[in-house]
Structure formats: C-alpha cells, structure tokens
Amino acid sequence: FQDYALFPYLTVEQNVAFGLRGLPPALRREKVRQALALVQLEGLEDRHPRALSGGQQQRVGLARALATNPDLLLLDEPLSALDAPTRSQIQGDLLRALQAFARPVVLVTHDIAEACTLGDRIAVFAQGQVIQVGGREEILRHPASRAVAELTGGRNLLEGRFLELRRRTLLLEWEGHTLEAPLLADFPRDLPRGAPLHFCIRPEHVMLLRDSAEETAGSEINRLRGVVVDETPRGITFTLAVRVVPPSVAPRRAPIQLEVEVSSQVYEVLELKGRKEWTMAIRPSAIHVFRPA
C-alpha cells in the first residue's frame, strides 16, 4: 500500500504550498502555479485529495516536492500503487516533469521497464551491493553477470563450451550447435578449449526464418531448428516456447527450449499459429557472453 501523504483537509493548492510557507505570498503562488503546470494539474487547485484519482494524487505529491526546488529528489517506487493504464500515462508526465526539473533524481524501482523509461543511468543492486552501473543499452544488452541479467528480466540464460577465438568474435558449442558471439575486450586469451561459458540471448533477438530464407542461408553457425511447443499472447507480442532440435550427431539429452518473442504483426505475417517447425537465426550481436569467473 502506498500513501502519498497528502493532507486531506487541504486543497491541492494548499498541499503544494505547504513547504513554501516562509516565502512571500506572491512568490508562493507563482511557485505553486509552476509546479502544478509541470505535472499538468492546472484547474484542480481548489479540489481536495478525496476528489482526485490515484494518478492525480500522485502528481500532487510530486508537485509538492518539486515546488521547493530541492537539490536532489528521491522517488521511491513512485508508480507502484497505480493500475497499468494510469501508470503508463503518469510515466510520460513524470518524465517530462523531471526533464524540466533539471536536477539530480534518484528513482528506486523493481521494474526494469520503468527504470529504462525514466532513468538516464541505471544502478543494479543485489543483496545491498551495486553489481553494475551503466546506460539503458549497456545494462540490457551487456549485463556484467548472470545476476544482472536475471534482475533485469533476462531470459534464455544458457551454458555452453568455449571453442576458439577469432579476430573480433568467439565460437562456442551449445547442445551440439556452433554459435558465434562478439568478443569482449577483457575476455581471457588463454581460455582452454571446452571451458564452460555462460551466455544469454534476449527473446526478441531470435529471428524465425521462412523456407525461402532458409534456402539462401549459407553458414549453419547461429542457425538452429526448433519446434514451437507453446505460445503465450501478451497483448502486442507473443512469447513462444521453442524446443531446440539437436543435430543428429549430438548426444541425446533432455529437451532444451528457447524463449522467442515476436510482435503480433510478425505472428500474423508468418502464420505462426498454423506452423510449428522453424529455423531460428541469431545474430552474433544478440548473444552476450559473460566473462569467465
């Protein structure tokens, strides 16, 4: 349960002005006006909190904090109590308000999508320790460890075996398949062949190929046969569970699955509902190998 700590007997204007009591009345009114404009609450100055929606109450609380022009603003799970449609709308309003605020803001959240929408830089914490700091793309595409990948919604967290280094890439073996991945700058050059390597593949970066695309495919590196065994609609996307078909030379093991995420449009264009067997193609840049411990 989240409480915005608004005074129920004060109006919106009076709540926002609460921290400005030492200022001259004219300046106080101007700062309240500016703060309410930032959060798009003009015209609601005379309402009481009970007459506001949850999203509007959230914005009043934000306006009250912004009105005092603090040197640093801390937002602790600011949107967690809102329903999904309201949260989506408030995120946009909050982002615009924070950009206009132009001061450092620390946002605490368990939602990686919220962190990526509102944050310029992201710090990932685990057990009270910072385990990675970076921009959105760095955190999502190049997690420093398996723990970071798990905390940021990573799926397809896998283990393979090192094969060889190339000029800018490396080869690894996974379930009888050869995969090529980018070579990390700090990757050890003396890693023995067959050493275990942990890596991840984001579901949205796995491509499903039509027959025509398969016929023109040259190298078998980063191409796998698979069978769709389950699908989950998620509104504008579908999450597919694809059982990987091992090469004929691979030893028999328990079935391995990859998660593949496609847009609803791709799902319809490829007629995925009527076809289960596919070739999956994975760009080398979509495979992130964690540095060996």
Return the percentage of the chain with pLDDT > 90, whole number.
64
Identify the weakest region by mean pLDDT among 17-31, 60-74, 239-253. 239-253
Segment 107-144, tens digit of pLDDT:
999 999 899 999 999 999 999 999 999 999 999 988 99
Query: What is the rounded CA–CA span in Å between residue 139 and residue 155?
Result: 14
Q: Are 94 and 66 in contact (CB under 8 A)?
A: no
Model confidence at 212: pLDDT above 60: no
- Residue range 157-289 forms a domain whose CATH class is mainly beta
Query: What is the rounded CA–CA span in Å between residue 208 and residue 234?
Result: 18
Q: Are 101 and 73 in contact (CB under 8 A)?
A: yes
Q: What residue type is 266 in one-letter code?
A: V
Residue 4 has a pLDDT of 76
Residue 81 has a pLDDT of 73
Model confidence at 216: pLDDT above 50: no
Predicted TM-score (pTM) of the model is 0.79
Segment 156-175, tens digit of pLDDT:
999 999 999 998 999 999 98
Mean of pLDDT values over 47-66: 91
Residue 217 has a pLDDT of 52
Q: Could you please report the per-residue DSSP string of 171-204?
A: EEEETTEEEEEEPPTT--TTPPTT-EEEEEE-GG
Mean of pLDDT values over 51-57: 90
Residue 1 has a pLDDT of 43
Residue 221 has a pLDDT of 82
Residue 78 has a pLDDT of 82
Per domain, the residue ranges of the chain are: 12-119, 157-289
Residue 98 has a pLDDT of 85
At residue 292, the 3 state secondary structure works out as coil
Q: So what's the architecture of 12-119 in CATH?
A: 3-Layer(aba) Sandwich (3.40)
Q: What's the mean per-residue pLDDT of the chain?
A: 89
Segment 19-33, tens digit of pLDDT:
998 899 999 999 999
Mean of pLDDT values over 240-268: 85
